[in-house]
Amino acid sequence: MNTRGLPRTVQRVIVPPIKCQGIKTKLTKFILSNISWHGQGRWIEPFLGSGAVLFNVQPDYAIVNDINPHIIRLYQMIYEGKIFPETVRKYLTEEGKKLLLKGEDYYYFVRERFNKSGDPLDFIFLNRSCFNGVMRFNKKGEFNVPFCRKTDRFRQAYITKIVNQITQIRNIMKGKAWEFRIGDWRDCLHHVTPDDFVYLDPPYIGRHTDYYQQWTEHDAAELATVTQHLPCGFALSMWKENRYRQNQHIAQYWNGLIERTVSHFYHVGSTEDLRNEMEEALLIKPGFATAITPSVESDKPLQLTFV
């Protein structure tokens, strides 16, 4: 029997080993408690990012897609048993020692090496020791985030934390039929069946700061059109409003959907007073939302770090 349907109450949120902008770790409970899906088809995630939502849904069947090849390659290699948690421990222990000894130059040495070879272990190293956990690539597709400036970044406890996160996702993926794809979202929405469910978390419109996060008005409009013709359920994450602005795209493109919202704080700097409150929406195709808005959104705003 399939037990992977939604809604589900998540007791302990699975935190993925890779960090990226817009990571939904803190919104996972909210997302999983508002979607209603029998779980018998495929969970399709065209904009995977860190995989925070996928690893908490833990579907039996999935299409896992992102235009960023580094994320997908890493997860696929863990899935296929080509990268083991112990391989990561050994690698980070050795590289961490070199970072401590040689200082920040070593970070930039690894960054250059990664930009030539695309080594997935170097990708973990950079993702977990770069400034603010940001994932940013320049026009040539090169990772260009500076160092977090902590040469003792890879202390034993931190390595263990990363290795445990890898072990956890490896265990989740075991025995599951997941198809990994690198490419544009359009390519993974062919042959969708009524039993599938599509979860969408596209980049913000107009933030052309990253090679893999380019998202135009045209993309947004096309996504809305394609999605609304899907034969299955879908949900879309999107920011709704903050102190200064409302997201006009919700009314413009996503009319007629069930809207669930949650407030959270995000940090734009290091101090408490640089917190901004943001309302985040989950827009769900009618027929695929839970009946009652769960209480996750009431108690107090969630705390998110803006990266």
Ligand X SMILES: C[S@@+](CC[C@H](N)C(=O)[O-])C[C@H]1O[C@@H](n2cnc3c(N)ncnc32)[C@H](O)[C@@H]1O
* Binding residues for ligand X (CB under 6 A): 20, 22-24, 46-47, 49-50, 52-53, 66-68, 184-185, 201-203, 212-213, 215
Residue type for position 176: K
CA distance linking residue 59 with residue 176, whole number of Å? 8
- Identify which of residues 91 and 114 has a Cβ nearer to ligand X in the complex: 114
- Smallest gap from residue 276 Cβ to ligand X (A): 18
Q: Which of 224, 264, 235 is nearest to 45 (CA)?
A: 235
- Smallest gap from residue 239 Cβ to ligand X (A): 10
CB-nearest residue to ligand X: 49
Q: Which of 134, 94, 132, 87 is nearest to 110 (CA)?
A: 94
CA distance linking residue 29 with residue 299, whole number of Å? 13
- Identify which of residues 66 and 196 has a Cβ nearer to ligand X in the complex: 66
- Smallest gap from residue 151 Cβ to ligand X (A): 28
- Identify which of residues 120 and 203 has a Cβ nearer to ligand X in the complex: 203
- Identify which of residues 89 and 181 has a Cβ nearer to ligand X in the complex: 181
- Smallest gap from residue 141 Cβ to ligand X (A): 12
- Smallest gap from residue 97 Cβ to ligand X (A): 30
Helical H segments across 128-230, by residue range? 156-173, 217-228
- Identify which of residues 149 and 207 has a Cβ nearer to ligand X in the complex: 207
- In DSSP terms, 290 is beta-bridged to none
| Strand pairing report for 275-284 and 258-267 | antiparallel
